């Protein structure tokens, strides 16, 4: 049978990994597809860069859109990154020429996925992006195909390996955030500018994609509440351990009576939870379906091998002639859901207050919480230092976030409170 001829735009870590995988697993891929997968063209900025892959037999294009126009290329693999510029131009050109697309570009999908999915369906081509979420974890395929019979009630997970490495290392060593971030950068886990990861944006992109596929709704990145891990201190991680919790950055999407809730922020989860033990650069995603129950997928969330595995898995589907709607249902059948604001979250909270150690402070704090119907579950204070600064740790019973925020604003204004209160949400059901 004639080979499936592909072109790859972008020869960074993932692109090079795809080239190597295609070469190393050539025989098994032929067996699975019933035909060879042949790399015929690439597009990259630097032809002279040393790469750990044999590219001697492929055609080079300096202009990425020329890759899509190349008559020898049947499938376009976009591994450039970014939601505009070259990546968007390449995908638009591929759609115009009715060539199937495989991409690992989460930003492109999160920002442009609705229009691109609709255009691909109109063109009658596959638009695949398994590698955009979870590295080597096949979560998109699981939601679109394996769990298609279910009404999904909730999908959540640890979706960023950089943040999980930082929080895990802080937990195991007691070191501060800035110190561990420096190590992550030195080891290549974090970029020189780590904002995209540590401020929760990367996780938000992935959550928006998961929510759209899980709930059959258009992508709505603007509806995702986003917080990162910069405020998490070694002190908070130590207190979390004392209270029986671990701190992780989660992306959570779930149906509520008020609509679809989408949020990214640090959470405290019980140390008995499986998610509490997803460590290092690993990712994990949990799906709750009304008939299947709970399904958990865990694996390497980034890196050349795992991400290349997901990219080539999508290419295999194209080679087999498989095509499903990009977002799980046809673009015309996607249904917008009301947005459930973070203020409607009902749950428990951890608070750390830095206060002057003098009589009446706890009574003033308790009054602020009482006035917004926030019930205190526990209070922890270590030592006494009259007149000096001490930490007071509180956990609450389930309460509405709106009330908690009002109470925190009043607490922050108390004369005895010497720095902004630290709040971390407790998720007892993850």
> Which positions are annotated as active-site residues?
206
C-alpha–C-alpha distance, residues 296 and 274, integer Å: 9
- Which tokens is 360 given? 């009446």
End-to-end CA distance of the chain: 48
- Which tokens is 194 given? 């780590």
Instruction: Spell out the SS3 assignment of 55-121.
Output: CCCCEEECCHHHHHHCCCCCEEEECCCCCCHHHHHHHHHHHHCCCCEEECCHHHHHHHHHHHHHHHH
Contact yes or no for 257/344 (Cβ under 8 A): no
Of residues 189, 180, 247, 262, the one with CA closest to residue 423: 247
Nearest 5 degrees, angle CA 280-CA 14-CA 200?
45
Contact yes or no for 3/30 (Cβ under 8 A): no
**Distances from the Cα of 412 to the Cα of 79, 240, 368, 371, 406, angstroms:** 46, 22, 10, 15, 10
């Amino acid at each position: 049978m004639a080979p499936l001829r592909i072109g790859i735009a972008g020869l960074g870590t993932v692109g090079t990994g795809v080239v190597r995988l295609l070469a190393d697993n050539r025989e098994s891929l032929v067996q699975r597809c019933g035909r060879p997968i042949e790399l015929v063209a690439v597009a990259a900025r630097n032809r002279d860069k040393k790469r750990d892959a044999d590219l001697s037999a492929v055609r080079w294009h300096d202009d990425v859109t020329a890759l899509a126009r190349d008559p020898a290329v049947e499938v376009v693999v976009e591994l450039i990154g970014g939601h505009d510029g070259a990546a968007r131009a390449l995908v638009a050109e591929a759609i115009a020429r009715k060539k199937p697309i495989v991409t690992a570009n989460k930003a492109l999908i999160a920002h442009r996925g609705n229009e691109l999915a609709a255009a691909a369906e109109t063109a009658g081509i596959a638009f695949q992006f398994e590698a955009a979420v979870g590295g080597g974890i096949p979560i998109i395929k699981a939601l679109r195909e394996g769990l298609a019979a279910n009404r999904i009630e909730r999908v959540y997970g640890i979706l960023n390996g950089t943040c999980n490495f930082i929080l895990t290392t802080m937990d195991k060593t007691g070191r501060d955030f800035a110190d561990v971030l420096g190590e992550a950068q030195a080891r290549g886990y974090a970029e020189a500018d780590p904002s995209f990861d540590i401020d929760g944006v990367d996780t938000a992109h992935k959550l928006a994609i998961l929510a759209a596929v899980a709930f059959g709704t258009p992508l709505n990145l603007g509806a995702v509440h986003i917080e990162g891990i910069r405020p998490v201190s070694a002190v908070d991680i130590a207190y979390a351990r004392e209270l029986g919790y671990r701190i992780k950055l989660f992306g959570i999407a779930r149906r509520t009576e008020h609509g679809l809730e989408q949020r990214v922020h640090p959470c405290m989860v019980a140390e008995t939870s499986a998610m509490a033990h997803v460590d290092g650069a690993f990712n994990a995603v949990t799906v709750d379906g009304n008939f299947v129950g709970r399904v958990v997928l865990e694996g390497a969330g980034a890196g050349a091998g795992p991400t290349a595995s997901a990219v080539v898995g999508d290419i295999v589907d194209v080679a087999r002639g498989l095509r499903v709607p990009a977002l799980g249902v046809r673009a015309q059948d996607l249904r917008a859901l009301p947005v459930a604001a973070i203020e409607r979250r009902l749950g428990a909270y951890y608070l750390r207050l830095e206060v002057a150690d003098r009589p009446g402070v706890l009574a003033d704090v308790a009054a602020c919480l009482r006035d917004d119907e926030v019930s205190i579950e526990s209070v922890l204070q270590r030592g006494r230092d009259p007149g000096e600064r001490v930490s007071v740790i509180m956990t609450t019973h389930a309460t509405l976030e709106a009330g908690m925020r009002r109470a925190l604003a009043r607490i922050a204004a108390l004369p005895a409170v010497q720095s902004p209160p630290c709040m971390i949400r407790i998720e007892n059901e993850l």
